[in-house]
Amino acid sequence: MAELQFFTGTMDSGKSTLALQTNHNHAARGRVGRIFTTHDRAGESILSSRLGLQHDAIEVHPDFNFWRYVVDTLTHGGRIDYLICDEAQFFTADQIDQLARVVDELQIDVFAFGILTDFRTMLFPGSARLVELADRVLVLQVEALCWCGKRATHNARTENGAMVVEGEVIVVGDVDAVDEAPADVAYEVLCRQHHRRRLTAARAKAVSMAPEPLPFG
Ligand SMILES: Nc1ncnc2c1ncn2[C@@H]1O[C@H](COP(=O)(O)OP(=O)(O)O)[C@@H](O)[C@H]1O
Ligand SMILES: Cc1cn([C@H]2C[C@H](O)[C@@H](COP(=O)(O)O)O2)c(=O)[nH]c1=O
Protein backbone atom coordinates (compact mmCIF):
# COMPACT_ATOMS: atom_id res chain seq x y z
CA MET A 1 0.00 0.00 0.00
CA ALA A 2 1.32 3.41 -0.90
CA GLU A 3 1.69 5.91 1.95
CA LEU A 4 1.87 9.63 2.57
CA GLN A 5 4.72 10.06 5.06
CA PHE A 6 5.69 13.33 6.67
CA PHE A 7 9.23 13.63 8.04
CA THR A 8 9.60 16.63 10.27
CA GLY A 9 12.14 18.29 12.56
CA THR A 10 13.52 21.73 13.24
CA MET A 11 15.70 23.51 10.72
CA ASP A 12 19.11 21.84 10.44
CA SER A 13 17.89 18.43 11.63
CA GLY A 14 18.76 16.60 8.41
CA LYS A 15 15.46 16.60 6.50
CA SER A 16 16.91 17.49 3.09
CA THR A 17 19.69 14.96 3.58
CA LEU A 18 17.09 12.29 4.32
CA ALA A 19 15.08 13.39 1.28
CA LEU A 20 18.12 12.87 -0.95
CA GLN A 21 18.96 9.54 0.73
CA THR A 22 15.37 8.34 0.30
CA ASN A 23 15.48 9.21 -3.39
CA HIS A 24 18.86 7.50 -3.76
CA ASN A 25 17.69 4.27 -2.13
CA HIS A 26 14.51 4.00 -4.15
CA ALA A 27 16.21 4.94 -7.44
CA ALA A 28 18.95 2.38 -6.73
CA ARG A 29 16.25 -0.32 -6.79
CA GLY A 30 14.93 0.84 -10.15
CA ARG A 31 11.97 2.83 -8.88
CA VAL A 32 11.18 6.02 -10.73
CA GLY A 33 10.54 9.17 -8.73
CA ARG A 34 10.13 12.89 -9.02
CA ILE A 35 11.75 15.42 -6.69
CA PHE A 36 9.92 18.60 -5.72
CA THR A 37 10.92 21.56 -3.62
CA THR A 38 10.24 25.24 -3.19
CA HIS A 39 12.24 28.19 -1.86
CA ASP A 40 15.41 26.11 -1.33
CA ARG A 41 18.36 28.19 -0.06
CA ALA A 42 20.46 27.03 -3.04
CA GLY A 43 18.03 28.54 -5.54
CA GLU A 44 15.15 27.64 -7.80
CA SER A 45 14.62 23.98 -8.80
CA ILE A 46 17.34 22.61 -6.51
CA LEU A 47 17.04 20.39 -3.44
CA SER A 48 20.14 21.01 -1.32
CA SER A 49 21.44 19.61 1.95
CA ARG A 50 23.97 21.20 4.28
CA LEU A 51 26.07 18.06 3.89
CA GLY A 52 26.91 19.32 0.39
CA LEU A 53 24.65 17.06 -1.68
CA GLN A 54 22.12 18.51 -4.04
CA HIS A 55 19.79 17.36 -6.82
CA ASP A 56 17.73 18.97 -9.56
CA ALA A 57 14.11 19.31 -8.54
CA ILE A 58 10.80 20.60 -9.82
CA GLU A 59 9.99 23.99 -8.25
CA VAL A 60 6.52 24.03 -6.69
CA HIS A 61 4.67 27.32 -7.15
CA PRO A 62 1.40 28.02 -5.28
CA ASP A 63 -0.68 27.21 -8.39
CA PHE A 64 1.14 23.94 -9.13
CA ASN A 65 -1.23 20.95 -9.12
CA PHE A 66 0.36 17.65 -8.08
CA TRP A 67 -2.66 15.56 -9.13
CA ARG A 68 -2.71 17.09 -12.62
CA TYR A 69 1.07 16.74 -13.02
CA VAL A 70 1.05 13.04 -12.10
CA VAL A 71 -2.05 12.18 -14.16
CA ASP A 72 -0.62 14.04 -17.20
CA THR A 73 2.69 12.21 -16.86
CA LEU A 74 1.03 8.78 -16.59
CA THR A 75 -1.34 9.57 -19.46
CA HIS A 76 1.63 10.36 -21.68
CA GLY A 77 3.23 7.00 -20.89
CA GLY A 78 5.53 8.19 -18.11
CA ARG A 79 6.20 6.18 -14.97
CA ILE A 80 6.14 7.49 -11.41
CA ASP A 81 6.53 5.25 -8.35
CA TYR A 82 7.17 7.89 -5.70
CA LEU A 83 7.37 11.62 -5.02
CA ILE A 84 9.94 13.37 -2.83
CA CYS A 85 8.66 16.72 -1.53
CA ASP A 86 11.10 18.94 0.37
CA GLU A 87 10.23 22.24 2.11
CA ALA A 88 6.67 20.91 2.19
CA GLN A 89 5.78 23.41 4.91
CA PHE A 90 5.52 25.99 2.09
CA PHE A 91 3.01 23.93 0.07
CA THR A 92 -0.61 25.04 0.21
CA ALA A 93 -3.21 22.95 2.05
CA ASP A 94 -4.78 22.16 -1.35
CA GLN A 95 -1.46 20.81 -2.62
CA ILE A 96 -1.24 18.47 0.39
CA ASP A 97 -4.77 17.25 -0.41
CA GLN A 98 -3.60 16.59 -3.98
CA LEU A 99 -0.67 14.54 -2.64
CA ALA A 100 -3.02 12.45 -0.49
CA ARG A 101 -5.17 11.79 -3.55
CA VAL A 102 -2.10 10.71 -5.54
CA VAL A 103 -1.33 8.17 -2.79
CA ASP A 104 -4.88 6.82 -2.45
CA GLU A 105 -6.01 6.74 -6.06
CA LEU A 106 -2.76 6.08 -7.93
CA GLN A 107 -0.86 4.05 -5.31
CA ILE A 108 2.20 6.33 -5.53
CA ASP A 109 4.31 6.81 -2.40
CA VAL A 110 4.80 10.38 -1.21
CA PHE A 111 7.69 11.30 1.09
CA ALA A 112 7.26 14.85 2.41
CA PHE A 113 9.86 16.74 4.45
CA GLY A 114 9.45 20.02 6.28
CA ILE A 115 9.46 22.04 9.47
CA LEU A 116 6.29 22.15 11.54
CA THR A 117 6.25 25.67 12.89
CA ASP A 118 7.40 29.08 11.79
CA PHE A 119 9.50 31.63 13.70
CA ARG A 120 6.37 32.70 15.64
CA THR A 121 5.77 29.05 16.76
CA MET A 122 2.68 28.83 14.54
CA LEU A 123 2.05 25.78 12.32
CA PHE A 124 2.72 26.35 8.62
CA PRO A 125 -0.50 25.64 6.64
CA GLY A 126 1.21 22.90 4.59
CA SER A 127 2.57 21.19 7.70
CA ALA A 128 -0.77 21.45 9.50
CA ARG A 129 -2.49 19.71 6.59
CA LEU A 130 0.24 17.06 6.48
CA VAL A 131 -0.27 16.31 10.18
CA GLU A 132 -3.99 16.02 9.49
CA LEU A 133 -3.65 13.73 6.46
CA ALA A 134 -0.37 11.79 6.63
CA ASP A 135 -0.38 8.03 7.17
CA ARG A 136 2.69 8.56 9.32
CA VAL A 137 4.37 11.58 10.88
CA LEU A 138 7.99 10.84 11.72
CA VAL A 139 10.24 13.13 13.75
CA LEU A 140 13.86 13.02 12.65
CA GLN A 141 16.15 11.10 14.98
CA VAL A 142 19.15 13.43 14.71
CA GLU A 143 18.35 16.14 17.23
CA ALA A 144 19.33 19.72 16.57
CA LEU A 145 20.38 21.31 19.85
CA CYS A 146 19.66 24.62 21.54
CA TRP A 147 22.76 26.53 22.71
CA CYS A 148 21.95 25.30 26.27
CA GLY A 149 22.32 21.67 25.16
CA LYS A 150 18.65 20.76 25.29
CA ARG A 151 16.87 19.37 22.24
CA ALA A 152 15.88 22.21 19.96
CA THR A 153 12.15 22.25 19.24
CA HIS A 154 11.61 25.73 17.79
CA ASN A 155 12.94 27.86 14.96
CA ALA A 156 13.86 31.42 15.89
CA ARG A 157 14.43 34.21 13.36
CA THR A 158 16.96 36.94 13.96
CA GLU A 159 17.28 40.28 12.19
CA ASN A 160 20.75 41.77 12.48
CA GLY A 161 21.38 39.48 15.43
CA ALA A 162 18.19 40.21 17.40
CA MET A 163 15.35 37.69 17.67
CA VAL A 164 12.08 38.82 16.11
CA VAL A 165 8.53 37.44 16.38
CA GLU A 166 6.81 39.54 13.73
CA GLY A 167 7.24 39.74 9.96
CA GLU A 168 6.65 37.87 6.70
CA VAL A 169 6.18 34.15 7.26
CA ILE A 170 8.35 33.08 4.33
CA VAL A 171 11.89 34.44 4.36
CA VAL A 172 14.53 32.07 2.99
CA GLY A 173 17.57 31.89 5.25
CA ASP A 174 20.06 29.72 7.06
CA VAL A 175 21.06 28.94 10.60
CA ASP A 176 23.94 31.21 11.56
CA ALA A 177 27.09 29.67 12.97
CA VAL A 178 27.62 30.96 16.51
CA ASP A 179 30.31 33.69 16.61
CA GLU A 180 29.94 34.54 12.92
CA ALA A 181 28.84 38.05 12.02
CA PRO A 182 25.03 37.89 12.03
CA ALA A 183 23.32 37.87 8.64
CA ASP A 184 20.52 40.42 8.02
CA VAL A 185 17.99 37.61 8.44
CA ALA A 186 19.05 34.33 9.96
CA TYR A 187 17.61 31.48 11.96
CA GLU A 188 18.60 29.70 15.15
CA VAL A 189 17.09 26.58 16.66
CA LEU A 190 16.17 26.87 20.35
CA CYS A 191 14.42 24.88 23.08
CA ARG A 192 10.95 26.17 23.95
CA GLN A 193 12.07 27.90 27.13
CA HIS A 194 14.73 29.95 25.35
CA HIS A 195 12.43 30.67 22.41
CA ARG A 196 9.82 31.95 24.87
CA ARG A 197 12.41 34.15 26.57
CA ARG A 198 13.90 35.22 23.21
CA LEU A 199 17.28 34.10 24.53
CA THR A 200 19.45 33.32 21.51
CA ALA A 201 23.06 32.13 21.83
CA ALA A 202 24.39 35.65 21.21
CA ARG A 203 22.09 37.23 23.77
CA ALA A 204 22.86 34.55 26.36
CA LYS A 205 26.56 35.21 25.85
CA ALA A 206 26.09 38.98 26.14
CA VAL A 207 24.03 38.57 29.31
CA SER A 208 26.59 36.23 30.90
CA MET A 209 29.43 38.67 30.15
CA ALA A 210 27.63 41.70 31.54
CA PRO A 211 29.14 42.89 34.85
CA GLU A 212 27.22 41.90 37.97
CA PRO A 213 25.16 44.82 39.27
CA LEU A 214 26.57 46.24 42.49
CA PRO A 215 24.52 45.22 45.52
CA PHE A 216 22.57 48.07 47.08
CA GLY A 217 23.58 48.85 50.62
N1 LIG B 1 30.30 19.34 8.50
C2 LIG B 1 29.34 18.48 8.87
N3 LIG B 1 29.66 17.27 9.34
C4 LIG B 1 28.70 16.38 9.73
N5 LIG B 1 27.39 16.65 9.66
C6 LIG B 1 27.02 17.84 9.21
C7 LIG B 1 27.97 18.83 8.78
N8 LIG B 1 27.29 19.93 8.39
C9 LIG B 1 25.99 19.64 8.56
N10 LIG B 1 25.82 18.39 9.05
C11 LIG B 1 24.58 17.67 9.38
O12 LIG B 1 23.61 18.09 8.48
C13 LIG B 1 22.41 18.42 9.20
C14 LIG B 1 21.65 19.44 8.38
O15 LIG B 1 21.23 18.79 7.22
P16 LIG B 1 20.09 19.34 6.27
O17 LIG B 1 19.61 18.16 5.49
O18 LIG B 1 20.61 20.50 5.50
O19 LIG B 1 19.00 19.81 7.35
P20 LIG B 1 17.52 20.35 7.18
O21 LIG B 1 17.05 20.05 5.79
O22 LIG B 1 16.72 19.65 8.24
O23 LIG B 1 17.59 21.82 7.47
C24 LIG B 1 22.92 18.91 10.54
O25 LIG B 1 22.00 18.73 11.58
C26 LIG B 1 24.09 17.97 10.78
O27 LIG B 1 23.62 16.77 11.36
C1 LIG C 1 11.23 29.13 10.71
C2 LIG C 1 11.08 29.66 9.32
C3 LIG C 1 11.88 29.22 8.30
N4 LIG C 1 11.76 29.72 7.06
C5 LIG C 1 12.64 29.26 5.99
C6 LIG C 1 14.11 29.33 6.27
C7 LIG C 1 14.67 28.23 5.39
O8 LIG C 1 14.90 28.80 4.10
C9 LIG C 1 13.53 27.22 5.33
C10 LIG C 1 13.77 25.99 6.20
O11 LIG C 1 14.75 25.19 5.61
P12 LIG C 1 15.47 23.94 6.35
O13 LIG C 1 15.93 23.11 5.19
O14 LIG C 1 14.47 23.26 7.21
O15 LIG C 1 16.61 24.51 7.14
O16 LIG C 1 12.38 27.89 5.78
C17 LIG C 1 10.75 30.65 6.78
O18 LIG C 1 10.60 31.07 5.64
N19 LIG C 1 9.95 31.09 7.78
C20 LIG C 1 10.07 30.63 9.04
O21 LIG C 1 9.30 31.08 9.93
Strand (E) or helix (H) holding 82: strand 82-85
**Within-domain flag for 168:** yes
**Within-domain flag for 148:** no
Does ligand 2 lie within 6 Å of residue 158's CB atom? no
pLDDT over 80 at 92, yes or no:
yes
Residues 129 and 75 in one domain: yes
DSSP state of 6: E
pLDDT of residue 207: 86
| 13-23 tens-digit pLDDT | 999 999 999 99
| 97-146 tens-digit pLDDT | 999 999 999 999 999 999 999 999 999 999 999 999 999 999 999 999 99
Average pLDDT over the chain, rounded to an integer: 95
How many structural domains comprise the chain? 2
Question: How far, in Å, from the CA of 56 to the mean position of ligand 2?
Answer: 19
Does ligand 2 lie within 6 Å of residue 11's CB atom? yes
Residues 29 and 125 in one domain: yes
| 164-177 tens-digit pLDDT | 999 999 999 999 76
Question: How far, in Å, from the CA of 173 to the mean position of ligand 1?
Answer: 15
Q: Which domain holds residue 171?
A: 154-208
For position 56, which CATH number holds?
3.40.50.300
Question: How far, in Å, from the CA of 213 to the mean position of ligand 1?
Answer: 40
Instruction: Specify the range with the lowest mean pLDDT, choosing from 23-27, 81-85, 181-185, 205-209.
Output: 181-185
Task: For residue 170, say whether it is annotated as part of any ligand binding site.
Answer: yes
From atom 15 of ligand 1, which residue's Cα is the shortest distance away?
14
Residues 42 and 75 in one domain: yes
Residues 107 and 13 in one domain: yes
Collect all residues with Cβ–Cβ distance below 8 Å to 206 and sequence separation of at least 6.
none
Beta carbons of 41 and 89 less than 8 angstroms apart: no
Q: Tell me the pTM.
A: 0.95
Q: Give first-to-last CA distance, the chain, whole Å.
A: 74
- Nearest alpha-carbon partner for 201 in 150, 151, 123, 148: 148
Residues 93 and 188 in one domain: no
